[in-house]
Amino acid sequence: MSQIGAGIVGSGWVAEEYIKAFQKDERSEVRSIYSRSKEKPEGYKKKYDLSCDIESDFETMLKRDDIDVVVIATPHDRHTEYVIPAAEAGKHLIIEKPVAL
């Protein structure tokens, strides 16, 4: 059985909760974290022993064939800029409310 590859957008506490959730399910794996800064994602890699990539370009994450689902863990007013391109790229989405403001 192949794993579900997850890409996470954002590096705040919500992103960390999703990392922990994906870690608990052997059917899923965090493969990429996109963030404007690398400090927090690097900390998560170390804390949770992740082998994922830290992306500084969102489009790079979307082009990856091994990313099946994208978690949008950003402030609500920033959802649209990530949701629309991810949906257009054919990725499954996990979004907290609201989808957009």
Average pLDDT across each block of 10 residues of the chain; the chain has 101 residues. List them in order.
Answer: 93 97 96 95 97 96 98 92 96 84 61
Across the chain, the runs of DSSP E, i.e. the strands, are 4-9, 28-34, 53-55, 69-72, 92-95
8 A C-beta contact, residue 58 and residue 82: yes
Torsion sign across C-alpha atoms 82, 60, 8, 47: negative
* 16 within domain boundaries: yes
Structural domain contains residue 79: yes
Domain assignment present for residue 101? The answer is no
Residue in the block written with tokens 């830290």:
54
Domain count, the chain: 1
Structural domain of 14: 4-95
Residue type present at position 74: T
pLDDT confidence of residue 1: 59
Residue 91 contacts residue 26 (beta carbons within 8 Å) = no
pTM: 0.92
Q: Give the model's pLDDT for residue 97.
A: 75
Task: Provide the CATH number for the domain around residue 71.
Answer: 3.40.50.720
